[in-house]
Structure 1
Amino acid sequence: MPLLVTDYSWTQTDTTVYIHVPLKGAKVGKVDIVSTDEYLKVHYPPYLFEAFLLKPVDEDRSSAKVGNGVAVITLPKRTNKIWENLMITTNDKEKKKEIRERALLKYQEKVSSESRSKAEKQRTEKKYALETMMKLEKEERESVQKMKDAEREKTTAELDAWQLRQKQQAEEEEQVKLHTQRDNQNNLKAVTQKQEKRCSDGRNVKLDRRGSEAKCKKKPADLPAPRPAGNIQVTFTPRVFPTALRESRVQEEEEWLHKQAEARRAVNPDVEELKDLTEENRNPDWLKDKGDKCFATADYLSAVNAYNLAIRLNRKIPALYSNRAACHLKLRNLHKAVEDSSQALDLLTPPVAANAAARARAHVRRGSAFCQLQLYAEGLQDYQAALKIDCHNEALLADTQRIRDIIQGTAAHPDTQ
């Protein structure tokens, strides 16, 4: 049973009542205060203070301050009048019980109403934020569409202008060709008439029998027959890599190229929630470029969103996982960075020269995440794996030596980037 507090004090003015309740060593967080227009309760186990107020107060403007071992409750009066007493003087327990239950019920309804109002406000704010985000995305899509339309119109105009120039140039060449043919025909006609006139003159015939007559009667030379038609067989040398036969990795290279081709064909645009996206947003390569641009401007969250959507469309492109791991490193999502780097390394198989740089980057990113998680042994393994690929990288050599020093206890433990 709680202990009732009797050593309280109170003061009043025409408009306000002030009640001072000693807390007897209770902590601030353990004080429960309930205040209505006719009832006041201050409960701090095992002590309890109850006040059945003489006159009603304005509960909406009431306030309480707890500190320095005392709770000060301020109760504005509804009517500006001096009270004879703080509480009612009746000893009727049933009446007090009724007042208490009514006050507690009213307080619970007030708390419930405030909770509903708060939840409604949160829902409204969330809805507003969602609508704002959708509006921004719509504006971005419209802006991109306008850029595409403008670029399409520009390209179409350039193509039409080029076709017009080509047509005009062809007409000019045709006119030049016609003029040339006409001039050649006129020249040939003039030469022929001159030769016929010479051949019809007898003196010229006699004189020309030593040379000119043969020219007048000279037959055209026989032209060679056209060549027979046929097919030319073309063969191509097989694709080989510049390595010695005993070190050849042609099979692994061909397997990697085959995996790359399969990855490009593995786009899955049929996901239900992705059907409403634009054509660009259903293109993993376009999304990857968008993520790379966001990363370059330090907008890592937008870059992660772009890579997430690209991965949902195609889960076989290792660069998407590796680049998302770099974003997670910047955002300090270290476990996610380890997971994405491992996924990228699983896809970068078999290990060949074509994917060596990508494997080195994935090892460094996973090693950096391990080191920031203070798992230096695992991080050292990834840095050593990257060194096997790029053994002349001075920055990589320095980072690897720094991790060795940390493991051996000869250096501090900074976050390895």
Structure 2
Amino acid sequence: MPLMVTDYTWTQTEWIVYIHVPLKGVKAGEVDIFCTDDYLKVHFHPFIFEAFLSEPIDDDKSTAKIGNGIAVFTLQKKEEGLWEHLVIDCDKETFRRIRERALEKACEKLAAEAKAKATKTQEERKYALEIMMKLEEEERARIQKMKDDEREKATAELEEWKLKQRQIAANKTQLKIQSQRIVTDKEIILEKTHAPKLSDGCKDEHGKYNGFSQWYIFGKEKQDCLPSPRLTGNIQVKFTPRIFPTALRESRVPEEEEWLQKQAKARRALNADLGELKNLTEEERNPHWLKDKGDKLFATGNYLSAINAYNLAIKLNREIPALYSNRAACHLKLRNLYKAIEDSSQALDLLTPPVAGNAGARARAHVRRGTAFCELELYIEGLQDYQAALKIDPQNKTLQADTHKIRQIIQNGALCHSD
């Protein structure tokens, strides 16, 4: 059973209540705090402090500071005034009901926060989708405008060429008429002087040109009949490279990019200087090979050897979350519960940001940490981890049953202790 902390002190003002709880030499990272508007619990193994407040507080505006071996709570009163007592004096049944009500409030608050977060995420996705569609629409409009401009330009050039062709044809007709008149007039003159016709060869008896050839008149004009070549160009179409299978408008680009950067960092760590591990074989220098070896040892029940394999793999690369999560599973089998909690927490830190690619690994890490908490009889903390895992995999029947079982243990007074 936990040991109750009774050597706490408290002071107050019209709007604020200050509570000082000694931590008995426990580190700040090992302190767990749970607070509602009428209930405050501080747990640091093997001690526990509970306060059933006589007046309601605003838990959202209240704060806690831990340091120098003491936890200082600044509680914001909902109503102005001085309290006669910090806590109420009731029987165990009343205390039990207050705990249950506090747990229900905490669950409702978590559910409301999750719903609000989901709503905000949905709105952000909707806004991002609208922006993306707007950008795509603008891009399509820009491309369509380019096509229309090119079409208008080509049409204008074609009309200009047709007009030029009509002018050339008119000039040809006029020149042809003029040349026919000239030839006719010269033939008449030559006929009167008994000279050869120019149309029969355009040369006189001495082999010299003394007339006009129709070919000579129109030959030069034919060079201007063809239009100039049209200008050509290319439109570059670039597609966004995607590693994740989701569409760009449906994905969480910043989170996925951060996750890919972490994976790249883990791969680069393989080339780091190994120091004292330089005598390892080529296989033993591969953390993924060591992970597979540890998994096989775990399957055969050799948990200590599996832990040694995971330890060596972590020395080679500290950025692989599966190593910490699997080592936590080994510590659970060996009842090293605090180490299991530490390894599971480290795995969850590496499994950020939460994306679809690491959902299964995050669910396993939450279950292993929640199991360790429940083995330490810290059922509220265990319930929070199981609820986080159930949120990732809501259709898992086993998770649903385990979460319901933990909730029943809490409601049946498993955390009750002596006054």
Question: Shorter chain as normaliser: what TM range?
Answer: 0.3 to 0.5
Relative to the length of structure 2, the TM-score reads 0.46
Relative to the length of structure 1, the TM-score reads 0.47
Higher alpha-carbon Rg: 1
